[in-house]
Structure 1
Amino acid sequence: MQNRGMKKWRPFATMPEQYIGLQEIIKKQSEIPQPSLTEDQMEQINFTLIEALHTNKQFYLTYYKRGQCITETGFIQFVDSLGELIVFIDDVFKLKNKMRLNVLIDVRFV
């Protein structure tokens, strides 16, 4: 005879499809629309990016991705204003990340 052990009861997870559906609904409720920036804000972001590139200062980079505003810290490696692309190295994993300039929301120094 084997003991089945203690089983926890999850009332809303009795059907896997229902649990997945509830997770999707919760995720959609937390989404926000992409904020639009004024010309002054875009110009300030541009100046901050250029200063961070030349002085190699660490910065906070806030960007919009899939309904969320995400903030990361890192160092600017390359800014391509014609291709509207930024390359930065994140502080956590030391990986190169490429990002479009149109998804940037805010850039601030640490």
Structure 2
Amino acid sequence: MHHDRGMKKWRAFASMPEQYIGLKKTINKQVEVAQPVLTEEQMEQINFTLIEALHTNKQVYLTYYKRDQCITETGFIQFFDSLGDLFIFIDDVFELKNRMRLSELIDVRLA
């Protein structure tokens, strides 16, 4: 008698879930980046760009450091406080408010 298994997809490496965990850790270590140290001039330029983007309501490209990675997003600056090390950024995709510290910023460019 012939016994049909049906439509089962063969997954060669699914039998070893530990392998997935190990591969993910290895890939994450490869993309890790040390947080760049900004000069005083770079920090001043970031402050000026943030103020301009806030007052003119222009879209910005924002690059920041989070969880050992550099992330770039586009959106609008809603609030900016240089003394409190805080700004609020509304991303362009989901229109969510993100509270961030100025010390996490790497670069800000007007779009």
Which residue of structure 1 aligns with residue 89 of structure 2? 88
Deviation, 1:2, is 4.4
* Unaligned stretches of 5+ residues in structure 1: none
Sequence identity, in percent? Answer: 71
Residues 51-103 of structure 1 deviation map (CA, whole Å, 9 limit, x = unaligned) = 00111111100001111111111111101122100001111111111000001
Which residue of structure 1 aligns with residue 42 of structure 2? 41
Give the TM-score normalised by structure 2.
Answer: 0.89
Which residue of structure 2 aligns with residue 10 of structure 1? 12
Measure, in 1, the Cα distance between the counterparts of 2:64 and 2:89: 13
Give the paired residue count. 109
Is residue 24 of structure 1 aligned with residue 21 of structure 2?
A: no
Measure, in 2, the Cα distance between the counterparts of 1:54 and 1:26: 41
* Unaligned stretches of 5+ residues in structure 2: none
CA RMSD of aligned residues (A): 1.5
Residues 14-56 of structure 1 deviation map (CA, whole Å, 9 limit, x = unaligned) = 3112221221111112101011111111010000001001111
Give the TM-score normalised by structure 1.
Answer: 0.90
> Are the aligned partners of 2:61 and 2:74 in contact in 1 as well (CA < 8 Å)?
yes
Q: Which amino acid aligns with 1:4?
A: G
Deviation, 1:4, is 3.5
Q: What secondary structure, in the 3-state scheme, does the structure 1 residue paired with 2:94 have?
A: coil
Q: Which runs of 4+ in 1 moved over 3 A?
A: none
Which residue of structure 2 aligns with residue 107 of structure 1? 108
Q: Which amino acid aligns with 2:6?
A: R
